[in-house]
């Protein structure tokens, strides 16, 4: 995947979008041979839809569920606590804890009251330069 990011580390362009679309078509065709049903069809359709709209793909890639963390650290190290405004209207506080080569990044909310979010938390673990595991939990009111 080839991306262009701005000085703040936000994805602004997917440079090889046509390649990704063609590759997905091949992968989907191969997976369709062994995976069938309405759930699979809906899943494939969702992926195809995201690939057809570059802004949706950028939103997806910029989110924590995908590559968002890779670009959050582009210009800053994970050694400092930071805040980031979420698209849901609250502030996400990212707190890193470093233990040797392992970095654990916890996410906590600030100002949940004016939003429709009742609960938010997250945890991401990096070892060396590799993302090992992570989750985000969001509960709406």
* CB 109 within 8 Å of CB 93: yes
What is d(CA 33, CA 100) in angstroms, rounded to the nearest whole number? 45
Least confident of 26-40, 49-63, 73-87, 113-127: 73-87
Note the pLDDT of residue 51: 96
Residue 18 tokens read as 């046509």
**CA dist 83 to 6, 48, 54, 105, Å?**
18, 33, 27, 12
Span 32-45, mean pLDDT?
A: 91
The angle that helices 38-52 and 54-62 make with each other, rounded to 10 degrees, is 100
Residue 64 tokens read as 């924590």
In this model, does residue 80 exceed pLDDT 90? no
What is d(CA 26, CA 134) in angstroms, rounded to the nearest whole number? 29
pTM of the model: 0.49
What percentage of the chain exceeds 70 in pLDDT? 87
What is d(CA 65, CA 75) in angstroms, rounded to the nearest whole number? 20
Note the pLDDT of residue 75: 43
What is d(CA 61, CA 63) in angstroms, rounded to the nearest whole number? 5
């Amino acid at each position: 995947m080839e991306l262009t990011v701005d000085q703040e580390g936000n994805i602004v362009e997917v440079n090889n979008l046509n390649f990704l679309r063609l590759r997905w078509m091949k992968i989907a065709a191969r997976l369709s041979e062994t995976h069938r049903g309405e759930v699979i069809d809906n899943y494939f359709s969702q992926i195809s839809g995201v690939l057809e709209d570059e802004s949706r793909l950028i939103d997806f890639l910029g989110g924590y569920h995908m590559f968002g963390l890779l670009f959050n650290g582009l210009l800053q190290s994970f050694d400092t606590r930071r805040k980031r405004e979420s698209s849901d209207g609250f502030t996400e506080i990212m707190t890193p804890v470093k233990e040797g080569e392992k970095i654990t990044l916890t996410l906590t909310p600030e100002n949940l009251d004016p939003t429709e979010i009742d609960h938010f938390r997250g945890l991401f673990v990096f070892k060396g330069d590799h993302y090992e595991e992570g989750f985000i939990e969001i509960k709406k009111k």
